[in-house]
Amino acid sequence: MPLDLTATSIELTRQICDIESVSGNEKELADEIEAALGGMPHLELFRDGDLIVARTDLGRPRRVVIAGHLDTVPVNGNLPTRFETEGGVDYLWGRGTVDMKPGVAVALKLAAELIEPSVDVTWLFYDHEEVAADLNGLARLARTRPDLLAGDFAILGEASNGAIEGGCNGTMRFDVVTRGRRAHSARGWMGENAIHKAAPVLSLLAAYEPETVEVDGLEYRENLNAVLASGGVATNVVPDECRIHVNYRFAPSRSAAEAEAKMRALFEPLGEFELKDLSPGARPGLDAPLAQEFLAATGREAKPKYGWTDVARFSALGIPAVNFGPGDPSLAHMDDERVDVTQITACEQALRDWLS
């Protein structure tokens, strides 16, 4: 069935979630969004692959970009959606109900209904957020049509429990590799055990105390963790290689180069350092006039975003950006992913009041 944009934002969330759109399979949902918004006289539509842009062009002096991604992580027995009541709270349960189709539903409903918003608005629905960065639809648009991302302020509808979360931490992944020499485990003295050589790496990680860094009035907690470990070739062979895969989440006051230099200084004395991925964070940007107006209009207090989100892509373009959406981010990607439905309507009303 086609999307019904006259439905409540709660029901629209359910409609969108029930269109399975695991990364790489966003086409059906993108088609439905294009069909639902197409022909509306107050919107200009653009499509790039499975990315949809809908814009007002009212000649307002300021423009806001409101964005959300269409894809989800893989389904695991949690579609179709269903409503549940737990502890007196009404939830919509299922894949995408937190990350991040409620934010998409709110944006879709408002895009259709706000014919003359107080600012010009670019509504952006994009693909491939949950996978490798080089596939990300927002990044693709920044390369090919940066004019469609232009704005004075951006809101990403990522789950934030209905709070306003400014900026985001940066993220870095790297391997620390220790080398040894293979030998039969019955004659271990003839080899060098690479896994044993990794002990100082693990000791450093276990003892490391991450910093809490204040950035523009918000406190960002850093994190440093081993997230994968691998080594060995057989149960009777002394291993000649061990890899510890490390994830460093760093405060947005650090540049990507500074974060890399800090990690290299810690780990290069202990093994080979192989950088795998590095994405800078985003400063809160809460001193921007539109950000201040948004905070005042919603009556919400700004909080830091510890995880990395695509607000960093807006920040890199010089556009201050915040995260604001329904859903508890700790439930994102969980098999029991679910959203308190009152958060969906609250976020819709906050955005509607501000944009009206």
Specify the 3-state DSSP secondary structure of 26: coil
71 is catalytic: yes
Catalytic one among 26, 71, 158, 260? 71
Tokens of residue 162, six digits: 């209905």
Among 197, 155, 192, smallest CA distance to 325 is for 155
pTM over 0.75: yes
Tokens of residue 155, six digits: 């809101």
Amino acid, res. 300: R
Among 323, 325, 291, 313, smallest CA distance to 104 is for 325
Q: With contact defined as beta carbons under 8 Å apart, do 57 and 119 qualify?
A: no
pLDDT tens sequence across 45-73:
999 999 999 999 999 999 999 999 999 99
Pairing label, strands 170-179, 241-250:
antiparallel
Tokens of residue 106, six digits: 């709110």
Catalytic one among 32, 129, 130, 260? 129
pLDDT tens sequence across 286-340:
888 999 999 999 888 899 998 899 999 999 999 999 999 999 999 999 999 999 9
Residue 230 pairs with which residues in a beta bridge?
243
Task: List average pLDDT for each run of 10 residues in the chain, which is 356 residues long.
Answer: 94 98 98 96 98 98 98 97 96 98 98 98 97 92 95 96 94 97 95 98 97 93 97 96 98 96 98 95 90 91 90 92 95 96 98 96
